[in-house]
Chain A
Amino acid sequence: MRAIGIILAGGGSNRMRELAMKRAVCAMPIAGFYRSVDFALSSMSNSHISTVAVFTQYHAGSLNEHLSSSKWWDFGRKQGGLFTFTPAITAENGFWYRGTADAIAQNLKFLKDCHEPYVVITSGDLVYKMDFNRVLAYHESKGADITVVCKDVPETVDAGRFGSIRMNEDMRIEEFEEKPLVARSNTISCGIYVIRRRLLIELIEMSEAEGRYDFVRDILIRYRGTKRIYGYKTEDYWSNIASVDDYFATNMDFLKPEIRKYFFGTHPYIYTKVEDQPPAKYNSMARVANSLISSGCIVNGTVEDSVIFTGTFIGNNCYIKNSILLNDIYVGDNTYIENCIVESHSTLQTNSYYKGDDGVRIVVENTERFVL
């Protein structure tokens, strides 16, 4: 592949509420045992991009732990590899990443030292699968300076939560508004870009000199008139997990057979760090319906329409409905859970009751657990 990859994974999010208390959004667990950054990493690996940089900042610990070895995504190579860049104090700079463009600017040496002609930039909080070779071929055929992957969303979705795009008939982007009050188009930016490496270096250096630090606002929007910026439309599944409701819906999407088939049943596959959990176990009163159960789980109670992550224990006579239980949770006997997201490592006492009445309720129970 003639491109290197950049994954922007530094963000926290207020809209993730308590879930962002202990991890970056890109480290959010997805579909039983993936992390959201796995989707970007796997797409890069499957597109044969061999050099990938991940920029981390907010709660980098959880993400760095996940990326402790590059071999799960097949990046452990002599040529290229997986590089994690967290802000560092240097002789020239003492700032955190002040924005996405600044993150690239602070690590410009990495870009300059590569030899690949193109860069694929993606956000790490997206759930998708993409062959970047196709995007790159499109980019070249259009003679574009920058290509933005975009998608038409249904009228029911508020396009104002995303970057809103209007293009001419040749797919050249004429209007690009970031999170507008009223979106004038139902085409949104997917947060995935292709750009020539030398042009990126040039634009980043100019922005930095002007004290501009945001890639979307200060490069895509600012240069949309002077540079040839094109849209590449995708019809495939794409989801951004920037809010609790998006996160909940994205996980629940994996209960649909066509979504599971798309991600897991068709090549190329999604890779993640291996956990060495034993097979899931169902004891005699287990009643599970329409749910995803991950390895390492032990189920004694009833689970319906839910996603249960690895290593979670569900006690006798529990009733769990329409909920997401993250990894390594202990659910005591006779507990009722509905419309909830339960934070990982929580210990839910016996006879508890949790229900999200209007919307999804986030449950965090840091009760100490004694394990023999």
Chain B
Amino acid sequence: MTKKEMIAMLLAGGQGSRLGVLTARMAKPAVAFGGKYRIIDFALSNCINSGIDTVGVLTQYEPLRLNTHIGIGIPWDLDRNFGGVTVLPPYEKMANTEWYTGTANAIYQNMEYMENYNPEYVLILSGDHIYKMDYENMLSYHKASGADVTIAVMPVPIEEARRFGIMITDENGRVVDFEEKPEQPRSNLASMGIYIFNFDVLREALRAGASQPGLDFGKHIIPWCRDKGCSLFAWRFDGYWKDVGTLTSYWQANMELINIVPEFNLYEEYWKIYTKNMPLPPQYIGKSALVERSIIGEGAEIFGTVRNSVIGCGVVVGEGTEIRDSIIMNDCNIGRNCSIDRLIAAEEVTVGDGVRTGVGEEVPNETDPHIYKGGLCTIGEQSVIPDGVSIGKNTMIFGVTKASDYQNGGLESGRTLMRA
């Protein structure tokens, strides 16, 4: 029987509701990042760069964008005769049909996929982290330590440790205890949601938890393994790793890319990040344009001023417009004489002439104050903003809006505006 030593299962079904309107029509792993990428590109590129050529991608929430992006896996060289990338949505069964109710439940429902490859080890990944990791190093550690389960961990500042699942290890890296979001953390090693399981251990654990509602790795599978006396090890990762789960951390991680030598460097030859490339020409910078401290994707045409911003592919920025500290995703069209501050514009947004964003006082958002904060203005995909309006801080706009939707030609800070 044919065999793969290790296959990866990539969890990409979550909505990522804390990204607000950015995930209104696509799953979080499909959200654009860093000018031309999508968040899932980092995990997929890590797989192929680590020599893993069999990846199951588990989708559930709004999968269309993800499906078209992944296709048959050509950008990542994951179009293989045996293995390659397979998109695994939930499906109807003879009995007990259900959605994916939890991370581990999703893997459980795809037992047959894993068994096809008869793997020794299974790597569990999430599709919503920004990092470069050689999973082969992690596998070597897993083999050398004789672990049944290896959990990737990273040191975090102790005051932030209470936001994570924390692993307590002995001097050999063996996990002696763990706690979920502890009030008084006993260690600063946070679980990154990346696991290597011996396949037989994983299979047993999943079957044991089959009837558990919302079967989850952190909450159920890892505790089950501990109780069964499996050997759990923590593999320490010291590189760059970012969970872009909130709008502010998403904005932050994008902005970090424009530093002169960014902590997360996309320009390294030996660990490339791959993405689906559209047939796009180079970007054009116009006669009276000014671009500094920014990264800009292919096919963009810049006639105005762009500072401290991340601009996606095919974006047009009109003359006289100034964009600062903003993320403008693929195929947006920004009119002339605009003044844009701290804007996150999702794909294919049209902004009219003379629009101003980021004006006024800091006021908490009226509908989702925990999502739309940090002075950002967030605009959902394919939205239209009419000419000449002023938009305040902590605002959200989604849909085709008209001048009549704006009282006195403006949207006050903290307001949410949604139109069909």
Contact = CB atoms under 8 A, between A and B. Distances in A.
A285 B292 contact: yes
Interface in A275-317: 275-276, 278-296, 298, 303, 307-310
Given A276-B274, A283-B293, A295-B297, A288 B285 contact: yes
Contacts of B351: none
Contact of B292 (A33, A264, A286): A286
A289 B285 contact: yes
B285 A279 contact: no
B64 interface: no
Given A279-B298, A287-B290, A296-B267, 16 more contacts: A33-B281, A34-B281, A270-B281, A278-B36, A279-B34, A279-B296, A279-B311, A280-B296, A281-B267, A281-B295, A282-B295, A286-B291, A290-B285, A293-B296, A294-B283, A309-B282
27 contacts: A32-B281, A33-B282, A71-B74, A255-B284, A260-B281, A264-B299, A269-B279, A272-B279, A274-B75, A274-B277, A278-B34, A278-B267, A279-B35, A279-B297, A279-B298, A279-B311, A280-B295, A284-B293, A286-B291, A287-B290, A290-B286, A292-B283, A293-B282, A293-B296, A294-B298, A298-B267, A371-B269
Given A271-B279, A279-B36, A260 B284 contact: yes
A286 B302 CA distance: 14
A162 interface: no
Contacts of B258: 281
Contacts of B272: 276
Contacts of B298: 279, 294-295
B260 interface: yes
Given A278-B267, A296-B267, A32 B293 contact: no
A46 to B, nearest CB: 11
A263 interface: yes
Contacts of A296: 267
B295 A293 contact: no
A296 B283 CA distance: 11
A290 B301 CA distance: 10
A263 B281 CA distance: 9
Nearest to A309: B282
Interface string B43-87: 000000000000000000000000000000011000000000000
Which 9 pairs of residues, A with B, have the shortest CB-CB distance?
A: A32-B282, A279-B35, A278-B266, A294-B282, A264-B281, A288-B285, A279-B295, A274-B277, A292-B282
Given A279-B35, A286-B291, A298-B267, A291 B285 contact: yes
Interface in A85-142: none
A151 B269 CA distance: 44
B328 to A, nearest CB: 12
A294 B402 CA distance: 36
A182 to B, nearest CB: 39
A31 interface: yes
A56 B297 CA distance: 34
Nearest to B275: A276
A269 to B, nearest CB: 4
A264 B280 contact: yes
B325 to A, nearest CB: 14
Nearest to B272: A276
B273 A293 contact: no
A314 to B, nearest CB: 13
A282 B307 CA distance: 9
B127 to A, nearest CB: 19
Which among A271, A293, A298, A310 has the greatest number of chain B C-beta atoms within 10 A?
A293
A272 B299 CA distance: 14
Interface in A243-285: 254-255, 260, 263-264, 269-272, 274-276, 278-285
B289 interface: yes
B281 A288 contact: no
Nearest to A271: B279
Nearest to A264: B281
Interface string B237-274: 00000000000000000000010100000110100111
Contact of A270 (B279, B295, B311): B279
A288 B289 contact: yes
Contact of B283 (A34, A275, A276, A280): A280
